[in-house]
Amino acid sequence: MTWWTGDGHVTMPKAVIDLMAEAAMALREEIVEEITYDDPDLHPHVGVPVFDSLDPKTQVFALAYVLRHLSEPDLPSPDLYAWNEGTAWAMFVKAGDELEIEFEFEEVPDIDDDLRFRFRHLIRDALEAVDPSARRPPVRSRNLSCWKDCLDVIADHLFWDRDFLDEKKFLDLDPLGSKLLKKLTGIAEDYFSTPPPLVREEDYRQADRYLRRAAGCPELLDPWDGEFHR
């Protein structure tokens, strides 16, 4: 068991992990840019506040943490908090963003078909893995809404709800009102307040190595290495 879902403790199919790993690596590229140029303006923002607010190294750690727990059956299911559920959702949001880029560059000549339709193939495979009866769009379809609906169907097999997007709603209330609303909605008192684990520098490095392996790119340079910036 690796992740607690509405269907019990599950391990995600490899096709879903492949999709999420590809999206995680797209996020990693932006994070590496921020670290390389020491420019906070390059910090990735995908519209998931609990993920967007993490510092870059913690974002890398969170991405690797979620992917490991979703894919390795020997790991116990983690407690669910806004930070790790929000990180998982950030990968699905990023996959949708990458689709838009894929559409934009589809007509570029001399681009390999594996890249031209990369995310569409990944989404089709992941959808088939979680629901073989689901109707999949043709790989050449440019209907963004349809593809994002597919992402929602895949994500529904992972998430109970989208509480991690509602932190502001609770912050705007007084403490008693926030506590009552959490009780009414079944949200744990520490769901939003629990941060990612405090980790050492080596933990960040290990997390990045894991992301590179998960996405099949172990040869990429280590952005934490001083040599990387010379």
Tell which wins on pLDDT, 178 or 100. 100
**Residue 177 pLDDT > 50:** no
Mean pLDDT in residue range 201-205: 86
Q: Does any domain span residue 180?
A: no
Q: Does any domain span residue 116?
A: yes
Q: How far apart are the first and last CA of the chain?
A: 43
Tell which wins on pLDDT, 124 or 115. 124
Q: Domain limits at 107?
A: 3-160+200-229
**What local confidence, expressed as pLDDT, does residue 200 receive?**
82
- Backbone torsions φ then ψ of 24, nearest 5 degrees: -60, -40
Q: Does any domain span residue 170?
A: no
Band of the pLDDT at 192, cuts 50, 70, 90?
confident
Q: Does any domain span residue 221?
A: yes
Between CA 158 and CA 152 the distance in angstroms is 10
Residues written for the chain: 230
Q: Does any domain span residue 177?
A: no
The tally of domains found in the chain comes to 1
Q: Provide the whole-model pTM.
A: 0.87
Q: Does any domain span residue 175?
A: no
Q: Does any domain span residue 189?
A: no
Q: Does any domain span residue 16?
A: yes
**What local confidence, expressed as pLDDT, does residue 225 receive?**
60
**Helices and strands: H and E segment counts in the chain:** 10, 2
Band of the pLDDT at 191, cuts 50, 70, 90?
confident
